[in-house]
Structure 1
Amino acid sequence: MATLATNWRKSSRSNPNDNCVEVGSLGGSAAVRDTKDREGAANPTQWSTFLNAVKSDRFTN
């Protein structure tokens, strides 16, 4: 799936040298990938873990 998406981008708040997630345009949807594995795609377990972390404010400064 990662190769089908276009316009990959990551948060402007990301450190350029750190690993993070990127989001890309995929028609009417969005694709997500890990910068450590740009040819891969987030599996359902990874995506669920990430969403739960966001929802619980684990990334808040």
Structure 2
Amino acid sequence: MQIVDSRPGCYMLECECARGEQFRAERLTLTVECPHCGRTRLTADLVATWVLRARGGMSADAAD
């Protein structure tokens, strides 16, 4: 699971589940749950990966 975009009022996330569709999170809480498969991830991990990717510090797949 990863954050793919930040939009006004929400974040767009994407899970590696079979549905593989992006979903919207209006608020990032302690954890994020995929509405399709139920997989959860810690928001802190998702944000850290997103920031590192934005800085060019790691590939998108390195944290998964």
Structure (1/2) with the larger strand percentage? 2
TM over 0.5: no
TM-score, length of structure 2 as denominator length: 0.30
